Chain A
Amino acid sequence: MTARPNPGTPAGEPLLDCRGVSLAFGSVRALVDVSLSAREGEITAIVGDNGAGKSTLVRCVSGIHRPDSGHIEFDGAETSFHSPEDAREAGIETVHQNLALVEDLTVWQNLFLNREVVRRLGPLAVLDRRAMRARAKEMVSKLAVNVPAVRSRVRRLSGGQRQAVAICRAAGFSSRLVIMDEPTAALGVQETARVEELIRALRDEGHAVMLISHNFAQVIRLSQQVWVMRAGRCVGGRRTAGTTGEEIVALVTGALNR
């Protein structure tokens, strides 16, 4: 596998570069010396069994946890995020497994939650609802087919539409790295296909996409780079074009090392 030239060898510096990241919760070593990277215009998959540390790593990158040691470089600069807000400001957006949408609010209110557009009326800041609705319409129509009305409440949307709203929110607002944690785990076949379309669209727009998935077929379908985690360690990385589902499975289970 490694003898022949790697078909998808990337050019340039990675956007995200994790080096030797370790994190322990008490006596539990959640991450041990993890090194991996992600590039713009690529979908980078992270696979591994439950408890392998995928979500913990993502939480470090998105500013929820701080690693005990190691470096996380983003766009060539060392990061030290103290909160998800810091990561977001740097251009790292995360689509959480629970999507973090408020069901009683509308699509546009969710898209602009905590990024409300305001008009200045003297000392007062007034929500510019019209502008937010118009911009929300643009955001969802750019990415999604079967676009939900921006005025409808999220409670009324299907699983796939909710995912689409969450992805639109992550893709908007000049983000550069979009992290997705199991984006299709709860979806049917049709909706999965639609969300995969969305993820490809994100990549084609030039975003770096980091995808956590249990679905190896999906990883092979979508990604350009795969990293495999096992028991808190990153046990291997492959260009997707140069690997197979079987090899990935072998790395995940430990039948194959490196």
Chain B
Amino acid sequence: MTAGTVDERVADTGRLRRMLIRPELGAVVGAIVVFAFFASQSATFRSVDGVANWLDPASTLGIMAVAVALLMIGGEFNLSAGVLTGTTGLILVTLATRFGWNVWAAMLAGLAVALLVGFLNGLIVVRTRLPSFIVTLGTFLMLQGINLGVTKALTGTVQVSGLRRADGFESARAVLADSVTIGGTGFRVAILWWIAVTVLATWVLMRTRAGNWIFAVGGDDRAARAVGVPAERTKILLFMTTAGAAWLVGSILALRFTSVQANAGLGQEFIYIIAAVIGGCLLTGGYGSAVGAAIGAVIFGMADKGIVFAGWDADWFKFFLGAMLLLATLANRLVRRYAEEVRH
């Protein structure tokens, strides 16, 4: 601190280190390791068909993980995101098959409901200052009850089906749930949506004022408010973003399977959070990346299908996921400690 010596905090840091040390570094390394592992176990896994196969679960999970990551960077959780994919799917199929709605109109209705749920989640969180964990746990349970209750009341069973016969099904399916053939291999269109969502989220985070505000409200809500950052609006919009993503994924899955179970999406909410955390998001907020969450989803997809390709008992999948989560979190902490010296 005295004259002559330069405080190390004052010194600027190297470009290479800045590029290397990013929140998603741990996830990238993890993805390479997991890929190498399963690729060595199964020839199918590393074939183009295999890649198309495991990118499929990665894509629908990835769309949600990216949205959930934005919300987590903003300092909040959304436990109702998984069940909301079921709700939107149920609305779509029910309106289209029971009430004769056009599929597109039914999807719009699903979107409206999803955004309303997201808005209410956000509004309750910012107005009451209750932990979002509790608030969205409440909406999670309520949605779960509505999904089951309404489906049973309308159909007498626990699923709605028959979307294929509805008006506008083919065009909606082409946009959201079809496959595109590249080099003889069919890739799900959902993969493109996932990439688009990741690119958009990354751009918002890194290049827009809103992105700056997301990091700020998640890092230090009080400080952000003190300089006039619209913290409430930012958070409500983040909840609506996760709800919008849930609608997209719910619609994709409904159009793909043409039927929806009343318990669809149940239990997925934690998978989204796991993918975001593997991707470098902190549970405490203010730190993380959208690309990392997308890569976290890739790891999940690879493990999900890789275990099957390798000929193992799929029962072991959860064990693998848990071990991956622990390892990735430890690796991310190391990266983060190192990163505190640096910044993009």
Which residues of chain A have a CB within 8 Å of any CB of chain B?
A: 83-85, 88, 96, 98-106, 109, 112-114, 116, 118, 125-127, 146-149, 151-153, 155-158, 161, 169, 190
Contacts and interface: CB of A to CB of B under 8 A. Distances in A.
Contacts of B315: none
Interface residues of B, number: 32
Given A105-B215, A114-B213, A126-B208, A151 B12 contact: yes
27 contacts: A83-B228, A84-B226, A85-B228, A88-B228, A101-B220, A102-B215, A102-B219, A102-B220, A102-B286, A104-B215, A104-B220, A109-B215, A109-B216, A113-B212, A113-B216, A113-B224, A114-B213, A114-B227, A125-B209, A127-B212, A149-B10, A151-B12, A152-B10, A152-B12, A152-B343, A155-B340, A190-B1
B10 A148 contact: yes
Interface in B204-232: 206-209, 211-213, 215-216, 219-220, 222-224, 226-229
Interface in B199-258: 206-209, 211-213, 215-216, 219-220, 222-224, 226-229
A101 B216 CA distance: 9
A103 to B, nearest CB: 6
B1 A151 contact: no
Contact of B219 (A96, A103, A156, A190): A103
Contacts of B340: 153, 155-156
B82 to A, nearest CB: 28
Q: 8 nearest interchain CB pairs?
A: A100-B226, A104-B219, A100-B223, A102-B219, A102-B220, A104-B286, A85-B228, A116-B209
Given A105-B219, A148-B9, 5 more contacts: A85-B228, A96-B226, A114-B224, A149-B12, A151-B342
A201 to B, nearest CB: 19
A195 to B, nearest CB: 14
A100 B222 contact: yes
B341 interface: yes
Nearest to B336: A104
Given A102-B215, A118-B209, A113 B9 contact: no
B174 to A, nearest CB: 28
B153 interface: no
Given A156-B9, A158-B9, A125 B220 contact: no
Nearest to A99: B223
A116 B214 CA distance: 13
Contacts of A98: 222-223
A151 B13 CA distance: 8
Main secondary structure of the interface of B (DSSP, over half): loop
Contacts, number: 97
A164 to B, nearest CB: 12
Contacts of B219: 102-105
A161 B216 contact: no
A88 B222 CA distance: 17
A23 to B, nearest CB: 20
A223 B295 CA distance: 57
A179 to B, nearest CB: 13
B287 interface: yes
B16 interface: no
B209 A127 contact: yes
Contacts of A158: 9
Contacts of B224: 102, 113-114
B313 interface: no
Given A100-B223, A100-B227, A146-B1, A109 B9 contact: no
B11 A149 contact: yes
Contacts of A152: 9-10, 12-13, 341, 343
A134 to B, nearest CB: 13
Which of A102, A114, A157 has the most C-beta atoms of chain B within 10 angstroms of its own C-beta?
A102
B228 A116 contact: no
B336 to A, nearest CB: 10
A9 B42 CA distance: 88
A105 B340 CA distance: 10
A157 B207 CA distance: 25
Interface string B302-344: 0000000000000000000000000000000000000011110
A256 to B, nearest CB: 36
Scoring A85, A101, A104, A158 by chain B CB atoms within 10 A of each residue's CB, the highest score goes to A104
Contact of A149 (B9, B220, B286): B9
Contact of B207 (A100, A126, A153): A126
B223 A102 contact: yes
B9 to A, nearest CB: 5
A146 B286 contact: no
A153 B208 contact: no
Given A101-B223, A114-B227, A190-B1, A127 B10 contact: no
Contacts of A102: 215-216, 219-220, 223-224, 286
A157 B286 CA distance: 18
Contacts of A118: 209
Contacts of B11: 149
B208 A127 contact: yes
Contacts of A146: 1, 7, 10
A109 B209 CA distance: 11
A114 B228 contact: yes
